Homo-oligomer: A and B are copies of this chain.
Amino acid sequence: MTETTDTSPGWLSRTEIEDARGRLPIVYVNAVPVRVDDSGAVTSVGLLLGVAPDETISRSLVSGRVLYHERIRDALLRHLEKDLGPVALPHVPASPQPFTVAEYFPTPGITPFHDPRQHAVSLAYVVPVTGDCRPRQDALDLVWFSPEEAAGDSVQQEMSGGQGVLLRQALAHAGLVP
């Protein structure tokens, strides 16, 4: 799972997390930030922009770990604020029902999702944001795409670990062409 570095304080040291990651599935959230029109229909999708060590462009969804004693909706808010800034005004859905559960395995091919570092069970939500997005960390930028662009080959090839599939599953859930 292409994930931005999780710098939020947790209850585990980095070494301890690494240890747990090799032995337990880790609870994650994935958020697909979207702009919607007055009728709630999705008009664009926000993707984080990064540069991989080999200088290729990489795009990713908002994602991160759920901490001990943290509610899922608080984890969503925390990671959205981390990646989109403090005035993005995300509207986390009223229901805890995710549109899907992405199972990232360290072994490729078991599901469409892969994370070499860990077995992550990620609850995925489409989250409308109505404010101003100002990514503030890790030199990441946020770029908005039309649903058609988001599902297109160009964007899909810049996503890794199956996040392109998850993005298309999100579009499908929103009633769009996946």
Contact = CB atoms under 8 A, between A and B. Distances in A.
A140 interface: no
A34 B13 CA distance: 40
A98 B99 CA distance: 9
Interface residues of A, number: 60
A81 to B, nearest CB: 11
Given A94-B128, A95-B174, A24 B26 contact: yes
A72 B105 CA distance: 12
B178 A107 contact: no
B91 A40 contact: yes
A108 to B, nearest CB: 13
Contacts of A126: 94-95
Contacts of A119: 68-69
Interface in A89-119: 91-101, 103, 105-107, 110-112, 119
A176 B101 CA distance: 11
Interface stretch (A1-9, A56-64, A131-139, A164-172): A164-172
B94 A39 contact: no
A143 interface: no
Interface in A24-63: 24-27, 34, 36, 38-42
B176 A172 contact: no
A173 B175 contact: no
A66 interface: yes
A87 interface: no
A113 to B, nearest CB: 9
Smallest CB-CB A-B distances: 6 pairs: A40-B92, A172-B172, A178-B178, A169-B172, A96-B175, A39-B73
